[in-house]
Amino acid sequence: MRRKIVAGNWKMNKTFSEAQELMNQLSTYQKKHTSGCEVYIAPPSLYLTAAMDIFTQHEVRVFSQEVSLHTEGAFTGEISVDMLSSIRATGTLIGHSERRQYHGETDANCNKKVKLALDKGLIPIYCNGETLEQRKSGQHFNVIKDQTEVALFSLTPDEIKKVVIAYEPVWAIGTGETASPEQAQEIHAYIRGLIAEKYGQEVADEVSILYGGSVKPDNAKEIFSKPDVDGGLIGGASLKIDDFTAIIKAFD
């Protein structure tokens, strides 16, 4: 049975004291409530060790927002899989649209990073999604197909079952626009179908696919109710404790 997940991507937000306050609030909430899903956060890398000190694994699992292609060496500012493993991080985001847009991330690089993460026992959350122009021109299925196949289809069946996929239509990230629950379901079912064609339905049914793109407390339950939507990768709403916990409650 595939995992239900609510993951918060904090991006480049919060001072250290603000981050500590938010993490403590989330820890307190998790200790008092039994969630119907797994809860992940991806704080700025500067705060990863603080997060590991605050959370136990069963409360909230800690992810990096990015990981290097390289295992060590003269790569200023990079974070390696060994570094993440050494602090007992659970995993890392890979291929987020903002990394693609601003830092030249490619599907081929994502493939290498996914393999590095899996080799170290880290969970990769692989992000894909189309731009507004690609959707309007009817290219969105081909874009998703290419992204999925290049980044993931060299994995073994056992490996791909450990990957979490986050479908994030670029046009809905931080814009206030949200794919309708039906649009989200359509793409999630398409991605699962691609995996089934390659690896078989049994494997595809074990892969968690999250939706990301302006998920809020008032739309989370409807989006998460779709059969192929296994949770969300949450941006702005993960920075407010009331909003984030309300989204977590959508699985109760």
Domain harbouring 246, CATH code: 3.20.20.70
Neighbouring C-beta atoms of residue 252, cutoff 10 Å: 10
Is 208 in contact with 2 (CB distance < 8 Å)?
yes
CB 92 within 8 A of CB 116: no
Binding site as annotated, residues for substrate: 9-11, 174, 214, 235-236
Are 247 and 30 in contact by the 8 Å Cβ rule? The answer is no
Angle between helices 16-32 and 241-248 (to 10 degrees): 30
What is the pLDDT, as a whole number, of residue 204?
Answer: 98
pLDDT for residue 9: 98
pLDDT of residue 233: 97
Residue 179 confidence (pLDDT):
81
Instruction: Name which of 120, 135, 111, 39 is nearest 79 in CA terms.
Output: 120
Catalytic residue at 70?
Answer: no
* Per-residue model confidence (pLDDT) at position 176: 72
| Boundaries of domain holding 103 | 5-251
Considering the candidates 38, 96, 130, 140, report the single residue annotated as catalytic: 96
Provide the CB-side half-sphere exposure for 182 (13 A, CA): 0
Q: How far apart are alpha carbons 114 and 51 in whole angstroms?
A: 23
Pairing of strands 61-64, 209-211: unpaired
Residue 172 has what pLDDT? Answer: 79
Question: What is the count of structural domains for the chain?
Answer: 1
Assess whether 96 carries a catalytic annotation. yes
Phi, psi of 210 (to 5 degrees): -100, 155
Catalytic residue among 98, 140, 168, 188: 168
**Phi then psi for 59, rounded to 5 degrees?**
-80, -65
Residues near 241 by Cβ (< 8 Å), separated by ≥ 6?
22, 25, 26, 29
Which mean pLDDT values do the consecutive 10-residue runs of the chain (252 residues) have? 95 98 96 93 97 89 98 97 97 96 96 98 97 90 97 98 96 77 95 98 98 92 97 97 97 92
Residue 211: name the closest of 229, 235, 187 by CA.
229
